[in-house]
A and B are shown apart, each in its own frame.
Chain A
Amino acid sequence: DIQMTQSPSSLSASVGDRVTITCRASQGISNYLAWYQQKPGKVPKLLIYAASTLQSGVPSRFSGSGSGTDFTLTISSLQPEDVATYYCQKYNSAPFTFGPGTKVDIK
């Protein structure tokens, strides 16, 4: 099975900073990659699918890129409401594995 890794596991940044999270698949998955945001105590929310397509209603400061094995989630200007854990997920074929998550908080 394809394994998903994320780096870093956690980060602390200032409001307004550009934040980048990396997700890597152990084998190529084309662009079948999604990103989710889970705020503390809340249900996960789909942010991005097809590696770079923003889900409806998601702020434009979020963007995704990548294809094959290496993917990136970028928050162009970190806001206090972006404090959350971010997960990548592969969906080219089952199992639809999630990455271990990256916890983002405010410095």
Chain B
Amino acid sequence: EVQLVESGGGLVKPGGSLRLSCAASGFTFSSYSMNWVRQAPGKGLEWVSSISSSSSYIYYADSVKGRFTISRDNAKNSLYLQMNSLRAEDTAVYYCARCPPRAATFDYWGQGTLVTVSS
């Protein structure tokens, strides 16, 4: 069974940093592209970042480019999101999501971790 479990969320002050993790199991993690998608309270879905299976290709939404860094450790079956210079508008539930082969859709999602940016 595919499982994605996010951790690392919490309350942080504006300008602060946080590192999210996503632990994957139930599939060959090193063969799949992975993503972060966020959802602000009461709002819609926003794609944040994607990373290919070997980390060769990385993409970011304009809203986080230069502040967030996606990475993965295939030996540890883990995905990460380093978030710096956090702003109030980054407050959201952050989901880890898997891409099926050859498509940037999201076929499995974690339960999400809440990041709150507030003074």
Contact = CB atoms under 8 A, between A and B. Distances in A.
- A-side interface mostly: loop
A68 B44 CA distance: 23
Interface stretch (B8-16, B21-29, B77-85, B99-107): B99-107
B56 to A, nearest CB: 14
Contact of B109 (A44, A49, A101): A44
A98 interface: yes
A34 B112 contact: no
A: interface residue count bin = 20 to 34
B45 A91 contact: no
Interface of B is mostly: loop
A87 B45 contact: yes
Contact of B107 (A55, A85, A99, A101): A55
Contacts of B61: 95
A46 B106 contact: yes
A46 B105 contact: yes
A97 B37 CA distance: 10
A94 B50 contact: yes
A12 B67 CA distance: 40
B81 to A, nearest CB: 16
B44 A97 contact: no
A51 to B, nearest CB: 11
Interface of B: 35, 37, 44-47, 50, 59, 61-62, 95, 100, 103-107, 109-112
5 contacts: A43-B110, A46-B106, A89-B106, A94-B59, A94-B104
